[in-house]
Chains A and B, each alone.
Chain A
Amino acid sequence: MSAVAETLDAGDEPRIVVAGQWKLFWWKFRKHRLAMASLVVLGMMYFVGAFAEFFAPFPVDLPNTRYTYAPPQMLHLFQDGRLAPYVNGYKVQIDRVAMRRTFVTDEAVRIPVHFFVQGDPYLLWGLFPMRTRLMGVEQPGQPLFLMGADRLGRDMLSRVIHSTRISLSIGLVGVVISLSLGVLLGGVSGYFGGAVDTLIQRLIEFVRSVPTIPLWMGMAAAVPTQWPPLRTYFIITLIISLIGWTSLAREVRGKFLVLRNEDFVTAAQLDGLSDLAIIYKHMVPSFLSHIIAACTLAIPGMILAETALSFLGIGLQPPIVSWGVLLQEAQNIRAVASAPWLLFAPGIAVVSAVLALNFLGDGLRDAADPYA
Chain B
Amino acid sequence: MTEPTTLLDVRDLKVHFPIQKGVLRRVVGHVKAVDGVSFAIRAGETLSLVGESGCGKTTTGRAVLRILKPSAGEILYHPKDGPPVDLAGLDKRALRPYRRDIRMIFQDPQSSLNPRLPVLEIVGQCLRTNGIANGTELEHRVADLLRRVGLRPEYLRRYPHAFSGGERQRIGIARALALSPRLVVADEAVSALDVSVQAQTLNLLQDLQAEFALTYLFIAHDLSVVEHISDRIAVMYVGRIVELADTATLFARPAHPYTEALLSAVPIDDPRLRGSRARIRLGGEVADPARPPPGCAFHPRCAHADARCRAEIPVLREVVPGHQAACHHAESLTLRGILPEAA
Direct contact between the two chains A and B in their complex (CB within 8 A): yes
Binary contact track A213-253/B, C-beta < 8 Å → 1, others 0: 00000000000000000000000000000000000000000
Which of chain B's residues 42-67 have a Cβ closer than 8 Å to chain A? 65, 67
Question: Given that A270-B99, A271-B125 are known contacts, is A262 also in contact with B130, CB under 8 Å in the complex?
Answer: no
Taking A4-B166, A268-B114, A270-B104 as known contacts, 13 extra A-B pairs with beta carbons closer than 8 A to each other, sorted by chain A number, are A1-B151, A8-B163, A8-B167, A17-B158, A19-B159, A263-B108, A267-B112, A267-B175, A271-B99, A271-B129, A272-B99, A272-B100, A282-B116
How many residues in A have their beta carbons less than 8 Å from beta carbons of B? Answer: 29
28 A–B contact pairs at CB < 8 A? A2-B152, A4-B152, A4-B167, A5-B152, A8-B162, A8-B163, A17-B158, A17-B159, A20-B118, A20-B159, A21-B116, A262-B111, A263-B106, A264-B112, A266-B106, A266-B112, A267-B104, A267-B175, A270-B67, A271-B126, A271-B175, A272-B130, A282-B116, A282-B117, A285-B116, A286-B114, A286-B116, A371-B115
A-B pairs, top 4 by smallest CB distance, nearest first, are A17-B162, A271-B126, A263-B112, A1-B150
Could you say which of A2, A24, A271 has the most chain B C-beta atoms within 10 Å of its C-beta?
A271
* B126 → chain A closest CB, angstroms: 4
* B94 → chain A closest CB, angstroms: 13
* B168 → chain A closest CB, angstroms: 11
**CB of B161 within 8 Å of the partner chain:** yes
* B248 → chain A closest CB, angstroms: 32
**CB of A210 within 8 Å of the partner chain:** no
| Chain A residues in 8 Å Cβ range of B126 | 270-272
Question: Hey, which bits of chain A sit against chain B, CB under 8 A?
Answer: 1-2, 4-5, 8, 12, 16-21, 24, 262-264, 266-273, 277, 282, 285-286, 371
- Determine the residue in chain B with the shortest Cβ distance to A21: B116
* B69 → chain A closest CB, angstroms: 13
| Chain A residues in 8 Å Cβ range of B164 | 4, 8
| Chain B residues in 8 Å Cβ range of A267 | 104, 106, 112, 175
| Chain B residues in 8 Å Cβ range of A273 | 125, 129
Question: In the complex, which of the residues A2, A18, A21, A270 contacts B115, with contact meaning CB atoms closer than 8 Å?
Answer: A21
* B129 → chain A closest CB, angstroms: 5
**CB of B96 within 8 Å of the partner chain:** yes
Main secondary structure of the interface of A (DSSP, over half): helix
Binary contact track B96-114/A, C-beta < 8 Å → 1, others 0: 1001100110111001111
| Chain B residues in 8 Å Cβ range of A271 | 99, 125-126, 129-130, 175
Binary contact track B234-262/A, C-beta < 8 Å → 1, others 0: 00000000000000000000000000000
Which of chain B's residues 110-163 have a Cβ closer than 8 Å to chain A? 111-118, 125-126, 129-130, 150-152, 155, 157-159, 161-163
| Chain B residues in 8 Å Cβ range of A268 | 114, 125
- Determine the residue in chain A with the shortest Cβ distance to B96: A272
* B314 → chain A closest CB, angstroms: 34
When chains A and B are docked, how far (Å) is the Cα of A277 from the Cα of B128?
A: 12
When chains A and B are docked, how far (Å) is the Cα of A1 from the Cα of B200?
A: 10
| Chain A residues in 8 Å Cβ range of B163 | 8
When chains A and B are docked, how far (Å) is the Cα of A268 from the Cα of B116?
A: 13
When chains A and B are docked, how far (Å) is the Cα of A156 from the Cα of B113?
A: 56
Could you say which of A2, A8, A273 has the most chain B C-beta atoms within 10 Å of its C-beta?
A8
